[in-house]
Amino acid sequence: MSQIALTCGFILILAGLYGALTNRDILRMIVAFTVANTGVNIVLVAVGYLPGRTAPILDSAVPVAEAAQRIIDPVPQALVLTAIVIGLGITALMLAYAYRLFRLRHSLDISNFTELKW
């Protein structure tokens, strides 16, 4: 189960990276990165998963006493939330940059922005 999730996550990461590294269109790159981020997030939650357990919320179903036996690992869930938000922030930032770049040169081709080199 978690193997599958992991594998999916990794595949998404690789696919995203491939897209980001082969598409010269900046918008496509950004999209590709979001895909990769999604992959990362999947990997995160997948790691926290324990077979046959429930969400880390203490209610009538999960009394405090046996919580340790009943719930899955809450930490990755906490982490993934942060990761998502940060990823979103960066994506938004990249979009803004993309707009700025377009204004600069009326092109979204990454290979047109290479005057800084050597």
Residues of this chain that bind another protein (CB under 8 A): 1-3, 6-7, 10, 13-14, 17-18, 20-22, 24, 26, 29, 33, 36-37, 40, 43-44, 47, 49-51, 55-59, 64, 67-68, 71, 73-79, 81-83, 85-87, 89-90, 92-101, 103-104, 110-111, 113-118
In sequence order, the 6+-apart residues with CB closer than 8 A to the CB of 56 are 67, 71, 72, 73, 74, 77
- Tokens standing for 41? 């997030």
* Alpha-carbon gap, residue 49 to 8, rounded angstroms: 15
Burial class (CB in 10 A: 0-12, 13-18, 19+), 77: middle
Query: How far, in Å, CA of 75 to CA of 88, rounded?
Result: 20
> How near is the Cβ of 56 to another protein at its closest, in Å?
4
Least distance from another protein to the Cβ atom of residue 53, Å: 9
- CB of residue 70 to another protein, shortest distance in Å: 8
What's the min distance (Å) between Cβ of 4 and another protein? 9
